[in-house]
Amino acid sequence: MNDALKTDLDDIALILEEIKRSSVDYLNEINEIPTTRIDQQVEPATLHEAGLGTSKTLALFNDNRRKLMVSSAGPRYWGFVVGGVTPAALAGDWLTPVFDQNTQSTQGNGDISAIVELETIRLMAQLLGLPDTFHGGFVTGATMSNFSCLAVGRQWAGMQLGKDIARDGMDKEIVVLAATPHSSVIKSLSMLGFGSNNIVAVNNLSGREAIDLYDLEQKLIDLQGRSVILNCSAGTVNTVDFDDLAAISSLKKKYKFWMHVDAAFGGFAACSEHYKHLVSGWEFADSITIDCHKWMNLPYDSAVFLVQKAHQKLQVQTFQNSNAPYLGNPDENFSYLNFLPENSRRFRALPAWFSLMAYGKAGFRWIVENNIDCAQQFGRYLADSAEFELTAPVRLNVVCFRLNEKEKTARFLDVYNKRGKVFMTATVLNGEMCIRTAFVNYRTSDKDIAIRELEETLKLL
Ligand SMILES: *Cc1c(COP(=O)(O)O)cnc(C)c1O
């Protein structure tokens, strides 16, 4: 064995101790670590003939790169929809490469990782109050989840026209309807051959980001004879608006369409008794996207996609490795190889399994309700202040606002973020720029909300 590898293997216990110490140091400091780094200069590394070994590599990294990490997993990173990493999630993720399983088959391959993945999907369905009619798997994020769900939807839509899209290619008679699709849905439609320009826009309700049901029904009537996929939102990214999923699902009795629900983070409303009505009716969807590296506080990269078991044949047609006869009949010999885009894949369910077992329903209910409380407190403060105004109601865990002196908003955000205490991102609502904060980290508390960064930043303008 090569010397560097041999020494590392002999010292594995020591190396893991060093990594543990380094991890604990970082996590203990995370509240003080800046949320942004202005000076991002690093000396480019050179690849040498002989490697340094892991201990020296860790020291080198800690010396010059670790200090440029931002506390995106900390309590005051409110930009995008980021989330953090709970201890149980970290434990599961740490162990994933220890086992390094190639998660595929539930039979005959000698490991149980696929069985654990199926079990994790069942546990997630229990957390979210979904029936066991769904079947699912782990993918890298909500983008791939939307992609996978829409791919099965495409196969269903083709079948309505007597076409097998997976074998014969795209059919122009398939139509995708959407009101406020996330950018990743549009990207998925490009990747799937629909063409992102071909989305048929459904009207929003006035002043809302949710589907106007009257307009939807008109479109479904007009499109009879075509084959329709409808993208619904359970939590739009800006104003966290929810489509009326119960009403949409009852339209399925009158019209044929594939109902996909992008519930990337909004789906976690189901953890709370007070908010679960927002997703009522999603159990009748054909497919659902859930992100795990956002509100579930799992590390990147993790999401699940759920498809009704009744569509299993279509799912297999979409993802089957049909030129690998050793896989046998995919219906009898279950393998993830035939149920989602990737072939070889990591044991991605493990951090989720650990988190679900470690915190249970009460743990996730607390995370969700605590974040909603934080958003409401922050929203009340802004609404009451003389300098700021809300640009959307605080429906769940996201707050959108701007300065009363609108034109100063961009400069304010820039100065604010450069201070490195709290991080927020810009968005556009009704054609105008505003600031958007999303509360999805389990560490965030009222202490973080009370921080006087807004006032301090105003003084600097
Ligand atoms: C974040 C998000 C996505 C995309 O998720 P990734 O994990 O970044 O791929 C899709 N839909 C919604 C509603 C989101 O919030």
Q: Which is the closest atom of ligand 1 to the Cα of 263?
A: 13
pLDDT at position 326 is: 63
Q: Would you say 254 and 224 are in contact if contact means Cβ atoms under 8 Å apart?
A: no
CB within 8 A of 6, min separation 6: which ones?
none
- The residue from 312, 339, 355 where one domain ends is 355
Span from the CA of 433 to the centroid of ligand 1 (angstroms) = 21
| pLDDT value at 17 more than 70 | yes
pLDDT at position 325 is: 63
Least confident of 38-52, 170-184, 338-352, 361-375: 38-52
Residue type, 425: T
Could you list the residue range(s) of the whole structural domain that residue 289 is in? Answer: 90-355
| pLDDT value at 210 more than 70 | yes
Check whether residue 23 and residue 159 sit in a common domain.
Answer: no
Span from the CA of 93 to the centroid of ligand 1 (angstroms) = 21
Q: Which is the closest atom of ligand 1 to the Cα of 265?
A: 15
**Ligand 1 atom 14: residue of nearest CA:** 264
Q: Which residues line ligand 1 (CB under 6 A)?
A: 81, 141-143, 146, 182, 184, 235, 237, 262, 264-265, 291, 303
Q: What would the pLDDT profile of 267-316 be if each residue is shown by its tens digit?
A: 999 999 999 999 999 999 999 999 999 999 999 999 999 999 999 999 99
Residue 105 lies in a domain: yes
Residue 394 lies in a domain: no
Span from the CA of 53 to the centroid of ligand 1 (angstroms) = 37
pLDDT band for position 324 (cuts 50, 70, 90): low
- Averaged pLDDT, 324-346: 83
| pLDDT value at 336 more than 90 | yes
Q: Would you say 330 and 316 are in contact if contact means Cβ atoms under 8 Å apart?
A: yes
Q: What is the 3-state secondary structure (H, E, C) of the chain?
A: CCHHHHHHHHCHHHHHHHHHHHHHHHHHHCCCCCCCCCCCCCCCCCCCCCCCCHHHHHHHHHHHCHHHCCCCCCCCECCCCCCCCCHHHHHHHHHHHHHCCCCCECCCCCCCHHHHHHHHHHHHHHHCCCCCCEEEEEECCHHHHHHHHHHHHHHHHHHHCCCCHHHHCCCCCEEEEECCCCHHHHHHHHHCCCCHHHCEECCECCCCCCECHHHHHHHHHHCECEEEEEEEEECCCCCCCECCHHHHHHHCCCCCCEEEEECCCHHHHHHCCCCHHHHCCHHHCCEEEEECCCCCCCCCCCEEEEEEHHHHHHHHHHHCCCCCHHHCCCCCCCEHHHCCCCCCCCCCCHHHHHHHHHHHHHHHHHHHHHHHHHHHHHHHHHHHCCCEEECCCCCCCEEEEEECCHHHHHHHHHHHHHCCCCECEEEEECCEEEEEEECCCCCCCHHHHCCCHHHHHHHHC
Number of domains the chain is built from: 2
Residue 15 lies in a domain: yes
Rounded to the nearest integer, the mean pLDDT of the chain is 96
**Ligand 1 atom 10: residue of nearest CA:** 142
| pLDDT value at 118 more than 80 | yes
Check whether residue 273 and residue 181 sit in a common domain.
Answer: yes
Check whether residue 132 and residue 268 sit in a common domain.
Answer: yes
Check whether residue 151 and residue 9 sit in a common domain.
Answer: no
- The residue from 329, 355, 381 where one domain ends is 355
Residue 308 pairs in a beta bridge with 134
- The residue from 326, 355, 384 where one domain ends is 355
pLDDT at position 106 is: 82
Check whether residue 226 and residue 273 sit in a common domain.
Answer: yes
Q: What would the pLDDT profile of 386-440 be if each residue is shown by its tens digit?
A: 999 999 999 999 999 999 999 999 999 999 999 999 999 999 999 999 999 999 9
Q: Which is the closest atom of ligand 1 to the Cα of 141?
A: 7
- Stated pTM of the model: 0.97
Q: Which is the closest atom of ligand 1 to the Cα of 182?
A: 11
- Averaged pLDDT, 17-44: 94
Check whether residue 109 and residue 21 sit in a common domain.
Answer: no
Place of tokens 């942004």: 36
- Averaged pLDDT, 194-214: 96
Span from the CA of 10 to the centroid of ligand 1 (angstroms) = 42
**Ligand 1 atom 12: residue of nearest CA:** 264
Residue 245 lies in a domain: yes
Check whether residue 57 and residue 175 sit in a common domain.
Answer: no
Residue 321 lies in a domain: yes
pLDDT at position 246 is: 98
